[in-house]
Amino acid sequence: MEQADLIWHNGEFVPWEDAKVHVLSHALHYGTGVFEGIRCYETEHGPAVFRHADHIERLAKSAELYYLGLPYSKEEIAEATRELIRRNGLGSCYIRPLAFRGYGDLGLYATDAPIDLIIAAFPWGAYLGEEGQKHGIRAKVSSWRRIGPGGLIPHAKASGQYLNSILAKTESTNAGYEEAILLDERGFVCEGSGENIFLVRDGQIVTPPHVASILDGINRKSVIQIARDLGYTVVERDVARAELYLAEEIFLTGTAAELVPVREIDDHPIGEPGEITRHVQAKFVDALNGRAEEYLEWLDFVEKPSEVDQASKVST
The smaller minimum CB distance to ligand PLP, of residues 6 and 147, is found at 147
| CB of 99 vs ligand PLP, minimal distance in Å | 15
x/- track of binding to ligand PLP for residues 237-266 (CB under 6 A): ----------------xxx-----------
Name the pairing type of β-strands 299-301 and 46-50. antiparallel
x/- track of binding to ligand PLP for residues 146-165 (CB under 6 A): -------------------x
| CB of 312 vs ligand PLP, minimal distance in Å | 32
Give the count of residues interacting with ligand PLP (CB under 6 A).
14
The smaller minimum CB distance to ligand PLP, of residues 32 and 219, is found at 219
The smaller minimum CB distance to ligand PLP, of residues 74 and 87, is found at 74
Residue 221 annotated in active site: no
Q: For residues 181 and 145, is the Cβ–Cβ distance under 8 A? A: no
| DSSP state letters, 138-201 | EEEE-SSPPP-TTTS-TTS-BGGGHHHHHHHHHHHHHTT-SEEEEE-TTSSEEEESSSEEEEEE
**Is residue 281 a contact residue for ligand PLP (CB under 6 A)?**
no
The residues with which 189 forms a beta bridge, in sequence order, are 183
Phi-psi region of 10 (alpha: psi -120 to 50; beta: other; left: phi over 0): left
Separation between Cα atoms, residue 254 and residue 259, nearest integer Å: 7
Q: How far is CA 296 from CA 9, 110, 180, in A?
A: 30, 42, 32
x/- track of binding to ligand PLP for residues 6-25 (CB under 6 A): --------------------
The residues of the shown chain that bind ligand PLP, judged by CB under 6 A, are 37, 165, 191, 194-196, 215, 217-220, 253-255
- List active site positions: 157
